[in-house]
Structure formats: C-alpha cells, structure tokens
C-alpha cells in the first residue's frame, strides 16, 4: 500500500517550504495510533519508528490485517451456526453472548457516547449494534412501523442520499417533508412524527427542535461527528429538555476505526427521558425491543470480528478525537486551495468539515466516478496522498463521485489526516487537473 513516495520531504513537485512542525505533529499522532494497534495483538511486534506518514500508513494497514487474523484464529471453531465453547466471546473491551446465527446477540462494551451518561441522568439508554449504519437506520424505521401505521419524517432536503432512498422504499407508509412544510401536527393518531437530523447535511440545524411541534421522536445520524462532539451533546440535551426521546444512529466504519476501516459496524442508541416525563410518545417505550426484533428478522446482526479490539481506554478516545480534529483542519486547508482557483458557485463546503463537493455539471454518476479515479491517479503521480475511495476519515485524501438529492452529481473530496500544507497543495492542484479531465464536459 504505497503512494509512490508520498509525504517525502524531497518531493520534486514541492512548490513551497515544508512546515516541518506540522509533519512532526502528524507523525507523532500516527505513532501513537500504531502503538495502540500493536498493543492489541496477541504477540505485539517490535515496531520500528516510521520516519514518514506514508510509512506509518502502510504499517497501520499491516497491523489491522494482523489484528483481524488474530480475531479469526482465536475463534476458528465458531461458525454462523456453531456456538462458542464458552458462554461468552470477547474482542478487546467487548463481550458477546449469542446463539444460532447471532440472532440473539448481546453486546457488553464501552459506551458509544461516554458523555451522554453525565448529561442525561435518570434517562433510559439502550444500545443495539448492527452490521452497518444503513442497517441501523433500516432496523429503526422497521421497528417504528411496527408501532405506528405511518411515519411523517421531517428532514432536510439534502439528507444523506441512501437514507432518502430508504425512506422511499417504504412507499406511502413513510412521508417525507422539509421542516418549513411540516409545522402542523399530524391529525391522524396512527401517524408518528419524526424529526430527522443528519450530520452529513450542508447546514446542521438542531434548532429545528425549538420550532417543530408535536415531535414524537428525534433521530440524529451522528456519522460525521466524533462521538464526543458538542453538537451531539447539545442535540440530546435539547430533545430531553423538550421531553422527546432521541435515537442516535451511526456508521462506525468512518471516524471510529483510526482510518483503517477495520470492519462494517453500525448502532442505534435510544435515549428516553425519565419515566413519567414522556407525554405524546409513549409508544417509544416499545422501540428497544422492536429494534432488536428487526435486527434479528432482517438478519443484520453484526459480525463479531468487526468489533475493534483497540476501542478501549483513554488512549483510543484521545487518538480518535485528535485525528478527527486534524482531518477537519486539513479539509479547511484543502478548501482554501480550491477556493483560490475555482468558481465559488461550483464548490460546496459542509459544517462537519470532513469533505467538500465540486459540482460536475451534467455529468452522470458514472462519469463523476471515472473523473474521481482520474483525478486521484493524477494527484498520486505528483507524489500527493490521494486515492479513489468512497468514504472518509482516512490518512489520505479520498475522492469519489457523489450524488445528492438537491445538487445532483458531484465530486466529493474528503480531507485526510495528513500535514495541512499537503492538503492545501492538493486543493491548489485540483482545478488544473479537472479542467483537463476526459470525463467532465464542462468542469468549470
């Protein structure tokens, strides 16, 4: 897994003096992450200290492969149908008990959102893991429709594309409307009103909690926020202050795996106000059991090997929080380079600070993806850390085609945990490379 000399301080294409301090800060973070991963191996390796971020990245993916092999070798006799020899299985800080095909899987592990317990005393909290973020949303919606005949979802127009697609897949039983068109309470008692807040939207608006009336449940997709984000805490506090239950759904493959995509994992965390406080949403007391049933019947229980053994203690929390902050800073620098040489009307930044999008005119999604591959290849040829990848949260800049319900097709440029000056240079080079793209008819 090489970048042809990426991160080298001797790059021939370097256009300005390197900020050595930012290089050292990035490399120090990588070394801390490597030490954490190495400590989880059954037989830790005698690691040499990598001298570049590129070398550290290769070593991280190697350690991830060793960790996965450890997990598989430790339970080689356990299959989808064969039960473990003991009553419990373990992966790092996680303990599991389960029977046939993990349909009754119970997970005991560290809290997903540690700060919630301090900010919601007396509240009822249930955590259910799934095989992905989308399966967490599907299980929650399926469970809600077991309790109510129809659902009115109040959601931003630029809610995550696959979430909108999932809404539509339920047909007339789920009706979606933007907040400005959904002020009146539902008249049908068989209908439940859900306020859907998505961290991936252009403008995160938890103030909708102050204006929406007769909300029965708040759902917050936290995927684009680090787990201790003040935005998550503030939203939970506002919902509980309004005596409304809240469900936090998350894909753990992005920001929670130290940039190595250790495994597909999702979760639903249901937080309800103390007993006796809920007035209009008593049906939500049934949700935890209904969600567990949905996970069982849909077959979306998580795979045990996908629970990261390194997710334990303050070292993990510190590493993940620091790298998330570094990605936001690098994305800001990347956007700065783009803004200086690209039409502002074709560039979109986001409140979460993890990526930017570039509109591609009339290009199809396939053309946008081919342009993304071409762009990533050209950047790598300049010894810059970029790849064609359809996610974010890596130690390189990830580029892919992107489809949004509001803006249509675009290129998504995701910042990485790399030295900020490299991010700015990538942003500076992208316009020239796009203008010569073979796949975009009118890139600018």
* Of 283, 306, 329, the domain-final residue: 306
* Of 306, 322, 356, the domain-final residue: 306
Task: State mean pLDDT over 147-155.
Answer: 90
How confident is the model at residue 12, as a pLDDT? 38
Question: Residue 138 pLDDT more than 60?
Answer: yes
Give the pLDDT band of residue 3 (cuts 50, 70, 90). Answer: very low
Tell me, yes or no, whether 273 and 411 share the same domain. no
Question: Residue 1 pLDDT more than 50?
Answer: no
Residue 82 lies in a domain: no
**DSSP designation for 115:** T
Residue 80 lies in a domain: no
Question: Residue 390 pLDDT more than 50?
Answer: yes
Tell me, yes or no, whether 300 and 326 share the same domain. no
Integer angstrom CA distances of residue 417 from 7, 325, 356: 12, 9, 15
How confident is the model at residue 288, as a pLDDT? 92
What is the residue-averaged pLDDT of the chain? 85
Tell me, yes or no, whether 180 and 259 share the same domain. yes
How confident is the model at residue 119, as a pLDDT? 60
Tell me, yes or no, whether 353 and 210 share the same domain. no
Tell me, yes or no, whether 320 and 222 share the same domain. no
Question: Residue 380 pLDDT more than 50?
Answer: yes
Q: Kindly report, residue by residue over 70-88, the tens digit of the pLDDT.
A: 988 877 766 666 666 666 7
Tell me, yes or no, whether 98 and 220 share the same domain. yes
* Of 306, 331, 360, the domain-final residue: 306
How confident is the model at residue 7, as a pLDDT? 32
Q: Kindly report, residue by residue over 111-124, the tens digit of the pLDDT.
A: 999 888 666 666 78
Q: What CATH code is carried by the domain that includes residue 402? A: 3.90.1150
- What percentage of the chain carries pLDDT values higher than 90? 57
Residue 12 lies in a domain: no
Tell me, yes or no, whether 103 and 161 share the same domain. yes
Residue 196 lies in a domain: yes
Q: What CATH code is carried by the domain that includes residue 229? A: 3.40.640.10
Tell me, yes or no, whether 320 and 375 share the same domain. yes
**DSSP designation for 351:** T
Question: Residue 8 pLDDT more than 50?
Answer: no
Question: Residue 11 pLDDT more than 50?
Answer: no
Question: Residue 30 pLDDT more than 70?
Answer: yes
How confident is the model at residue 64, as a pLDDT? 95
Domain count, the chain: 3
Residue 23 lies in a domain: no
Task: State mean pLDDT over 39-62.
Answer: 91
Residue 270 lies in a domain: yes
Residue 125 backbone zone (phi > 0: left; psi -120 to 50: alpha; other: beta): beta
How confident is the model at residue 212, as a pLDDT? 63
Token pair for residue 383? 């010894």
Token pair for residue 392? 């974010």
How confident is the model at residue 32, as a pLDDT? 95
How confident is the model at residue 16, as a pLDDT? 45
Tell me, yes or no, whether 144 and 247 share the same domain. yes
The residue written with tokens 């849909």 in the block is 298
Tell me, yes or no, whether 297 and 327 share the same domain. no
Burial 136-174 (b: 16+ CB within 10 A, else e): bbbbbbbbbbeebebbbbbbbbbbbeebbeebeebeeeb
Burial 339-357 (b: 16+ CB within 10 A, else e): eeebeeebbbbbebbbbbb
Strands 246-251 and 266-272: antiparallel
> Which residues form the domain of 47?
40-69
Q: Kindly report, residue by residue over 306-317, the tens digit of the pLDDT.
A: 999 999 878 999
Alpha-carbon torsion (138, 306, 395, 205), positive or negative: positive
Instruction: List the beta strands (DSSP E) in 165-206.
Output: 174-177, 191-198
Tell me, yes or no, whether 297 and 330 share the same domain. no
Give the pLDDT band of residue 57 (cuts 50, 70, 90). Answer: very high
Tell me, yes or no, whether 163 and 124 share the same domain. yes
How confident is the model at residue 260, as a pLDDT? 94
Give the pLDDT band of residue 343 (cuts 50, 70, 90). Answer: confident
Residue 81 lies in a domain: no
Give the pLDDT band of residue 345 (cuts 50, 70, 90). Answer: confident
Question: Residue 276 pLDDT more than 60?
Answer: no
What span, in angstroms and rounded, lies between the C-alpha atoms of 258 and 30? 9
The residue written with tokens 């008593």 in the block is 282
Question: Residue 441 pLDDT more than 80?
Answer: no
Residue 129 lies in a domain: yes
């Amino acid at each position: 897994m090489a970048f042809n000399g990426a991160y080298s301080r001797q790059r021939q294409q370097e256009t300005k003096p390197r900020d050595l301090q930012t290089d050292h800060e990035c490399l120090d973070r990588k070394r801390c992450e490597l030490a954490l991963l190495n400590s989880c191996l059954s037989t830790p390796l005698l690691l040499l200290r990598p001298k570049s971020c590129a070398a550290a990245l290769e070593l991280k993916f190697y350690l991830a492969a060793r960790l996965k092999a450890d997990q598989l070798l430790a339970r080689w006799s356990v299959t989808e149908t064969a039960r473990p020899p003991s009553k419990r299985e373990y992966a790092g800080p996680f303990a599991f008990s389960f029977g046939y095909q993990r349909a009754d899987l119970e997970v005991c592990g560290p809290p997903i959102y540690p700060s919630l317990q301090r900010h919601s005393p007396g509240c009822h909290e249930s955590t259910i893991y799934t095989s992905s973020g989308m399966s967490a949303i599907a299980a929650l919606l399926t469970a809600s429709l077991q309790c109510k005949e129809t659902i009115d979802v109040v959601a931003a127009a630029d809610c995550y594309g696959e979430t909108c697609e999932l809404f539509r897949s339920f047909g007339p039983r789920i009706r979606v409307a933007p907040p400005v068109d959904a002020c009146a309470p539902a008249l049908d008692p068989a209908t439940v009103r859900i306020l859907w807040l998505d961290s991936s939207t252009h403008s995160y608006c938890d103030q909708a909690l102050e204006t929406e009336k007769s909300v029965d449940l708040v759902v917050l997709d936290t995927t684009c926020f680090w787990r201790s984000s003040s935005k998550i805490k503030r939203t939970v506090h506002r919902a509980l202050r309004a005596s409304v239950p809240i469900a936090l759904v998350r894909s753990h493959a992005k920001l929670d795996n130290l940039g190595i995509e250790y495994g597909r994992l999702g979760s639903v965390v249901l937080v309800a106000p103390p007993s006796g406080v809920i007035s209009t949403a008593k049906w939500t007391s049934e949700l935890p059991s209904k969600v567990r049933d949905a996970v069982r019947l849909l077959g979306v229980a998580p795979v045990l090997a996908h629970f990261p053994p390194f997710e334990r203690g303050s070292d993990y929390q510190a590493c993940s929080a620091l790298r998330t902050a570094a990605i936001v800073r690098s994305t800001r620098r990347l956007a700065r380079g783009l803004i200086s040489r690209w039409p502002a009307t074709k560039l979109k930044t986001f409140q979460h600070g993890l990526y930017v999008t570039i509109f591609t005119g009339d290009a199809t999604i396939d053309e946008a993806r081919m342009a993304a591959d071409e762009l990533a290849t050209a950047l790598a040829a300049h010894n810059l850390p970029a790849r064609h990848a359809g996610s974010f949260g890596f130690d390189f800049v990830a580029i892919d085609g992107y489809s949004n319900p509001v803006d249509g097709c675009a290129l998504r440029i995701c910042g990485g945990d790399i030295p900020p000056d490299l991010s700015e240079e990538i942003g500076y080079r992208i316009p020239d490379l796009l203008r010569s793209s073979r796949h975009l008819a009118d890139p600018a």
